[in-house]
Structure 1
Amino acid sequence: MTYSLRDSIKVPAAVSALSFGSQGNLAVGSADGSVRVYKLPSLKVLKAIRQLGDEVSSICWLNNRDAQIGEICVASGRNAYSFNLDTEKLILAPTDALVSLELGEDDEDVVNELNVNENKKYLSFSSDAGSVGIVDLSTRQITRMKTRHNSICDTVKFVPHRSSEIVSGGYDSAILHHDFFQRNLLSRFDITAAALPSSGVSLSPPFVLSLALSPCGLIAAGTADGRIWLGAGGDKATNAPKRKKGRKWEGLQESEGTWIQVADGPIVAAAFTGETTLIISTLLGRLVCYSVSYDNEGHLVANERWQSAVEAINKVNAIAVNQGSLVVGGLDEFGKGIAEVWSLD
């Protein structure tokens, strides 16, 4: 599996969030509080959202399969907004939002990531205050987990095929596994710092900056000290060792995981494409694709299948992957926004 740079999307402010919808539409969020939607390979803007007021930190799609473009949920500042993009308006404003929710606990509590679960009934969120929460999309009720991170909670994901389980990662170097119906902590993994490199220069603390879960429950966590932790305890892929089905996902078992040292700098984004292919990006734009498998003894193995580097991005903030494309977003040398579109060869 290899990718080639095909095109670039340029916008006035830094690209801060990316997301593919089920129809193949790409949403690009920016630091100036705007969102632009494209239908690749065309670089013509289909729809835009402006004047959200704060950086767009996350985007997820709520649309059903019959939608022409769909419904989108956008995090900006302490708020989350949902918009129906199947409207005659080309440019939408906050007053056009179907729903506006205050998810941050105060003005300083910025929402960092949004995700919607498989049946589109629940929205998860993480915030600067370390809180992890759920929104019931039918009632708009907000529920926060009893256990929060001791620092910024940067990322949160739903566990596939588990009706009430989410995992979150934070700047306290912890991955927390929650039951959001009971609001209880089910398990946790506290990450320790890596040994000093041979140069004697200390690495960054192992803050958890990115999480990805495969469709079968394999987890990848990217840290600020350039490592990826792969956790296989909850992996139900066809090539995974046969495990008894437990009452809860067991993905944070340290004994079932393995570490990959990718770079000296932060792993800012990670995404699975399919059951066994993981793509990551570092802050400075090193792109690596791994194929995850198991050896004859059932131990987890990650083989590097492709690597490259961005061409015009000075700092990467986000990636998005679908079946045929990899999009990498951030800012260029002049501080402007740019998203590089890479195609699967």
Structure 2
Amino acid sequence: MSKLSPTFHSAIPVPSAVASLEIASSSSLYVCVGTDDGTVRVYDLSSSRATKGIKSLGDEVSSVACSYNASGVPTTVWAAAGRSALRFQLDTPKLILTVDDATCRLELGEDDEDVLNELRLSDNGKFMAFSTDSGTVGTVEVSTSRVSRMRAKHNSICATVKFVPDRPSEIVSGGYDSAILHFDFKQGSVLSRHDVSSAPAESGIALSPPFIQCSAMSPSGLYVAGTADGRIWLGGGGEKAPAASAGNKKKSRKWEGLRAEEGLWIQAANGPVVAIAFSGPNVIASTLLGTIIVFSVTRNDANALQAAQIWTAASQNVAKVNAMAVNAQRLVLGGYSKVGKGMIETWRFGDARGSDQSVVTE
């Protein structure tokens, strides 16, 4: 077992089903949780208690995007509820906030049916990217609330969107049309795309279509996407080489992470991959039914990507996974319990002392 393999730590009941999660990339103990009853809660994982809440947002909170202080405590949160993105200041004495406390509200969906799916803040916090059910991809300039929508869109639901590191105007989106699109969001134009084909049927069993359901981007520019037919695609064409091996290679004019010839497919599971993240050199994925899988991703002597499964386990308390968040020390799953109640489950990396298998009740 790798020293980075997760060890089960605790399960925390949540009043309603978990729809979204975010945790600071450091060793933060605070996780921001959005639920299907229109509530956002901040949990302190050291005590398994909620420390701040936002209620009555009117729709499922499909995504949360936070800014943090130096201690990893969220100070600002954007919550996606229905077609709206709402911003709240959390560094206030007030423990329970409502819609009236929002410092900004943006209607980003075209109508009430065009709900938001993912919000992401850029590393510098200047822009927020969003995706919607109608297939729209767009950005918000945070300081001015100026909204820009890409001229091209997905032909179906756009599930996920990410910023490209060290590229101040580039984002990547994935949709249920099995397309991955790469945009210059300041120009509103498509820079590249990758269309995903269905996996070959095995033993006459037809798997789900290859909808793009989740994605992640590493700090070095390695892209990974999870599909509804249980596969993972790694796009390595835009990954920055380490300084020692980069030689005299010039920086490309644009990120080239969607080049098919530099990608790698992994058949990870028989069911949908609904959440995916990087943890150091590894990729962590979760299926809809709570199978957690860790892959080691390396390059061979020919500099081609290669991946090996190094660990897998089943969630102990989340029967249906809707979200996953990972930082330097923890993995957090969120969704439904076996009896249909809200649940978050925490795992620790490389810390056997964390395997107390405790269940916290409220």
TM-score, shorter chain, exceeding 0.5: yes
Classify the TM-score, shorter chain: over 0.9
Which residue of structure 2 lines up, in the alignment, with residue 55 of structure 1? 60
- SS of equivalent residue, structure 1 residue 95: helix
Q: How far apart are 1:180 and its partner, in Å?
A: 0.4
Q: How far apart are 1:64 and its partner, in Å?
A: 4.5
Q: Give yes or no for the alignment of 1:255 onto 2:261.
A: yes
- SS of equivalent residue, structure 2 residue 261: helix
- SS of equivalent residue, structure 2 residue 205: coil
Letter in 1 for 2:151: K
Answer yes or no: is the 8 Å Cα contact 2:29–2:72 preserved in 1: no
Which residue of structure 1 lines up, in the alignment, with residue 271 of structure 2? 265
Q: How far apart are 1:268 and its partner, in Å?
A: 0.3
Which residue of structure 1 lines up, in the alignment, with residue 342 of structure 2? 337
Q: How far apart are 1:102 and its partner, in Å?
A: 0.6
Q: 1:108 aligns with which of 92, 107, 113?
A: 113
Q: For residues 300 and 312 of structure 1, do their structure 2 counterparts lie closer, same or farther at Cα, with a shift above 3 Å needed? A: same
Which residue of structure 2 lines up, in the alignment, with residue 16 of structure 1? 19
- SS of equivalent residue, structure 1 residue 130: coil
Deviation digits for residues 112-155 of structure 1, max 9, x if unmatched? 00000011000000000000000000110100001100000000
Q: How far apart are 1:12 and its partner, in Å?
A: 2.0
Q: For residues 240 and 101 of structure 1, do their structure 2 counterparts lie closer, same or farther at Cα, with a shift above 3 Å needed? A: farther
Q: How far apart are 1:217 and its partner, in Å?
A: 0.3
Q: Give yes or no for the alignment of 1:313 onto 2:318.
A: yes
Q: Give yes or no for the alignment of 1:130 onto 2:145.
A: no
Q: How far apart are 1:240 and its partner, in Å?
A: 10
Q: Matched residues in 2 for 1:237 and 1:51: separation?
A: 47
Which residue of structure 1 lines up, in the alignment, with residue 360 of structure 2? none
Q: Matched residues in 2 for 1:156 and 1:74: separation?
A: 15
Q: Matched residues in 2 for 1:20 and 1:189: separation?
A: 29
Which residue of structure 1 lines up, in the alignment, with residue 251 of structure 2? 245
Unpaired segments of 5 or more residues in structure 1? none
TM-score normalised by the chain length of structure 1: 0.96
- SS of equivalent residue, structure 2 residue 224: strand
Q: For residues 240 and 204 of structure 1, do their structure 2 counterparts lie closer, same or farther at Cα, with a shift above 3 Å needed? A: farther
Q: Matched residues in 2 for 1:89 and 1:58: separation?
A: 22
Which residue of structure 2 lines up, in the alignment, with residue 226 of structure 1? 230
Q: Matched residues in 2 for 1:7 and 1:66: separation?
A: 22
Equivalences, count:
343
Q: For residues 327 and 67 of structure 1, do their structure 2 counterparts lie closer, same or farther at Cα, with a shift above 3 Å needed? A: closer
Aligned CA RMSD, in angstroms, stands at: 1.5
Answer yes or no: is the 8 Å Cα contact 2:30–2:72 preserved in 1: no
Stretch of structure 1 that moved more, 313-322 or 66-75: 66-75
How does 1:12-161 map onto structure 2 within 5 Å? Answer: 12-21=15-24, 23-65=28-70, 69-161=74-166
Among the aligned pairs, what percent are the same residue?
52
Bigger RCO of structures 1 and 2 (CA < 8 A, at least 6 apart): 2
- SS of equivalent residue, structure 1 residue 62: strand
Q: Give yes or no for the alignment of 1:7 onto 2:10.
A: yes
